[in-house]
Structure 1
């Protein structure tokens, strides 16, 4: 197997840590409400109980927002892994309803955020907003500079100071869009989401950090998914 320089650097980073989290993100693409609903029911009654029985916990199942008008709906399932060997325990049974397409992404946590954190949110669960971001780099070298921005530049610390309730920050080890990183933040509601991002954009440290020459042209594509947790989700 050929390993790019970005992955080599991340593996070297992880080898210097006592431990750090691994995650799997599964993105199920569906064709509409009927397919989304049937798949969600399967997750609630069969898939999550199966995963819990196999020893997995703190699994997040995230659904499209009600005002999502995209024809391509996405259900996102996030789960922490004790190690990469856990991947052998994950499988859908033959009763799984149809979906359009499935993307599986394997990730390893950033050095600055080696472990996931459960969100600390207020208000009704139905109002909570989860935002999954994926930043793709134009080259491996530029991508590693964006990772450096989170770790050494302490963009992770900035998010913490502004109370973004981040669940994880991670590097993609295997996926369809590489090199890239992903992170998940959470908010009490959409108004809080909007207010937090305004504060982020106005923050003096962010303006200084983002203006540094070494961090220019590090993201070629940003993918943003706004979601809410399913009622049966562990998160």
Structure 2
């Protein structure tokens, strides 16, 4: 009888356990640190990118933190400031604190990053470093690496930031992604979402950020055409419940470095 009760309990547990990782409970939601390095010139960019490649990424790998994405912007007449973005997935906020503590005692990291870490005040390796902390959406609790092939230089990792006029409107926009079905629409269309996150510490709050990925610019245009033409989006955008929940949007079209882990 005890064995039968145990079997029944096990079957109930299996039946209640979500098959889709996007439906897992709140505790499964990752955090993300997004580091944005801005550079005054190519010399700074080269110094920082060498540090990331040879020192920071290998050190994070030794800590079993990853996969870490490293992306550069495409400098042109509209975007003249070179930047590098580093996306670090975290299982908890404690892990964020542990990174700095571990790096401080990692002799390999100190040696490999010596030039960057000991740079003089009049020759810094970057113009500015901004750190943004995000908490994953309930509908997409874990970072997903996109199954892209083809040349990395052709790929587009589209990073978006949506700012809201108030925290209440910000929560409404997040609800639009989760319960409203915007996340599911991106998934249905094969937009290769990497992450969706609410910014919990940053310079543009209240805001959310997310990243989708495409093999090239043609694929990106095709996917966005399908998105804006979909019945799901037309239904969402015509719903007055979601009116005025975004008052500023930024879009950055990035490409992965050769040492990015995806």
Do Structure 1 and Structure 2 share a fold, with TM-score over 0.5?
Answer: yes
2:72 equivalent in structure 1: 63
Are the equivalent residues in 2 in contact too, given 1:129–1:187 (CA < 8 A)? yes
Deviations 1:158-183 (A, max 9, x none): 00111110011111111111111010
Mapped pair 1:51 → 2:51: no
**Contact map agreement 1:54 1:89 (CA 8 A) in 2:** no
Corresponding position of 2:243: 216
- The answer to which structure has the higher helix fraction is 2
RMSD: 1.7
Query: How far off is 1:122 after superposition?
Result: 2.7
93, 96, 100: which one pairs with 1:84?
93
Is 1:95 equivalent to 2:115 in the alignment? yes
Distance apart, 1:68 and its partner CA:
6.5
Q: Which runs of 5+ in 2 are unaligned?
A: 1-24, 104-109, 117-123
User: Bigger radius of gyration, 1 or 2?
Assistant: 2
Q: In 2, distance between residues paired with 1:46 and 1:18?
A: 31
TM-score normalised over the length of structure 1: 0.88
What's the TM-score, normalizing by structure 2?
A: 0.79
* Aligned pairs, number: 220
> Could you tell me whether the CA contact under 8 Å between 1:171 and 1:181 is conserved in 2?
yes
* Correspondence 1:35 to 2:21: no
Deviations 1:121-145 (A, max 9, x none): 1322221110110111101111111
Q: Secondary structure in 2 aligned to 1:90?
A: helix
Given that 2:45 and 2:125 are in contact with CA atoms closer than 8 Å, whether structure 1 keeps it comes out as: no
State the distance in 2 between where 1:193 and 1:86 align.
34
2:203 aligns to what SS in structure 1? Answer: coil
Runs of 4+ with deviation above 6 angstroms: none
Alpha-carbon separation, structure 1, partners of 2:77 and 2:50: 20
Select 2:217's aligned residue among 187, 190, 195: 190
Q: 2:181 maps to what in 1?
A: 154
